[in-house]
Structure 1
């Protein structure tokens, strides 16, 4: 990927902080792709304390592929979709009803 020409931008984010996070906490962000569209994909994330496994924050994000030269959204490539589905070990193109 030529990151000078193609980017991924955040277009929407929701975050629910359910516990305080302190500077001394050891935290990690767990991320999974929950849905893929033609130009976007949705992420679900949670911030956890790695020592206690306590959930500190739950997030939902929408990411869009972006043509940095034309300054407009662009379709996800077949290769990206296949790579994401392979990494997530499931078909994300199916929509739930």
Structure 2
């Protein structure tokens, strides 16, 4: 196996979301299909931002979109394994931020996949990027208990 392109996180993950695996998440080989991991990661992203915001954000006001995602699939997952997704913001720019995420077996700690996601704040009317609101940056820093740069 080649060396993963996603580096180890520098800080502890403060957000964990247990995810329920469905039988339909598995393929003919009996393991979770690669595309399902994206669904797990998306669920955790929404829950992460809801937790950071301390309530359900108004997604019409905060227009964060995924601009890019890299995933290293490190170990296969079989039906019935207990899974959780770990999420953290590891960098914030003016108009974008990057998330680290891991899907792990919650019983053993084995990392099933590691993902790095770039999200961009956009102005839907103008169809252009816009700065991340300062309030969001403050909430992320408060949740992560550090000054994310």
1:49 aligns with 2:105: yes
1:32 is aligned to 88
2-side partners of 1:2 and 1:68: how far apart?
14
Return the structure number with greater helix share: 2
1-side partners of 2:69 and 2:84: how far apart?
18
TM-score of the superposed pair, with normalisation by structure 2: 0.58
Return the structure number with greater strand share: 1
1-side partners of 2:67 and 2:78: how far apart?
28
Give aligned pairs, total. Answer: 93
2:128 is aligned to 72
2:60 is aligned to 4
TM-score of the superposed pair, with normalisation by structure 1: 0.86
CA RMSD, 1 decimal? 1.4
Deviations 1:61-93 (A, max 9, x none): 101112222222110011111111111000113
Q: Secondary structure at the match of 2:91?
A: strand
Which consecutive unaligned segments of at least 5 residues does structure 2 have? 1-56
Q: Which has the higher contact order (CA 8 A, sep 6+)?
A: 1
